[in-house]
Amino acid sequence: MHTITDEDLQRAPQQLLADARRGQITVVTTDGRPMMLAVPLADGVPLRTALVDLAAALFDREEISLGMAARIAGLSYSEMIDELGRREIDTIRITPEELERELAAWGS
C-alpha cells in the first residue's frame, strides 16, 4: 500500500492513476490522517458489486453507519438493509445489557 498527501495529489494527480494501473492501493492523507482510499479494480469486476461488497464489509466491522453504507453502495436505506440481511449481517446491534434494560422497561 502506498501513501500520498493531499498536496502530492494536487501537484501530480496523474500519479494516482499510474499507481492504480500498476495495481497499487493508495491512501491519500490530509494532515497525516487518512482521507481517501484508491483501490484499483480487477478487470471484469462490476463497480456496483465492488461498492456493495465494500459497504457491507465496512458496516459489518462497525466502521461506518448504515446510512454511509447505503451511500457507498448506491442503494436506498431500505435496499441496504435488505442487502445486509441477504448477507446475514445484523443491522440492529445491541449489547446484552441494553437488551436486558429494554426488556425490563417493556415488562414494566
Percent of the chain whose pLDDT exceeds 90: 74
Please check whether residues 36 and 48 belong to one and the same domain.
no
Q: Give pLDDT, residue 108.
A: 66
Question: Are 53 and 18 in the same domain?
Answer: no
Name the average pLDDT for the chain: 92
Give the count of domains, the chain: 2
Q: How large is the angle between the packed helices 66-73 and 47-60, nearest 10 degrees? A: 170
Phi-psi region of 88 (alpha: psi -120 to 50; beta: other; left: phi over 0): left
**pLDDT tens per residue, range 54-85:** 999 999 999 999 999 999 999 999 999 999 99
- Report which secondary-structure segment, H or E, holds 28: strand 26-30
Q: Do 35 and 15 reside in the same domain of the chain?
A: yes
Q: Coil, helix or strand for 9?
A: helix
Shared domain for 20 and 67, answered yes or no, is: no
CA distance readout (Å), 54 to 1, 11, 57, 59, 79: 17, 29, 5, 9, 15
Question: 2 lies in which domain range?
Answer: 1-40
Q: Is the pLDDT of residue 107 over 80?
A: no
Amino acid, res. 88? E
Model confidence band, residue 29 (pLDDT cutoffs 50, 70, 90)? very high
Could you read off the pLDDT of 34-59 as tens digits, one per residue? 999 898 988 888 999 999 999 999 99
Q: Is residue 23 scored above 80 in pLDDT?
A: yes
Bin 36: left if φ > 0, else alpha if -120 < ψ < 50, else beta.
beta
Domain co-membership, 54 together with 93:
yes
Grid cell digits, residue 77: 436505506
Same domain, yes or no: 7 and 49 = no
The rounded distance, in Å, linking the Cα atoms of 80 and 85 is 8
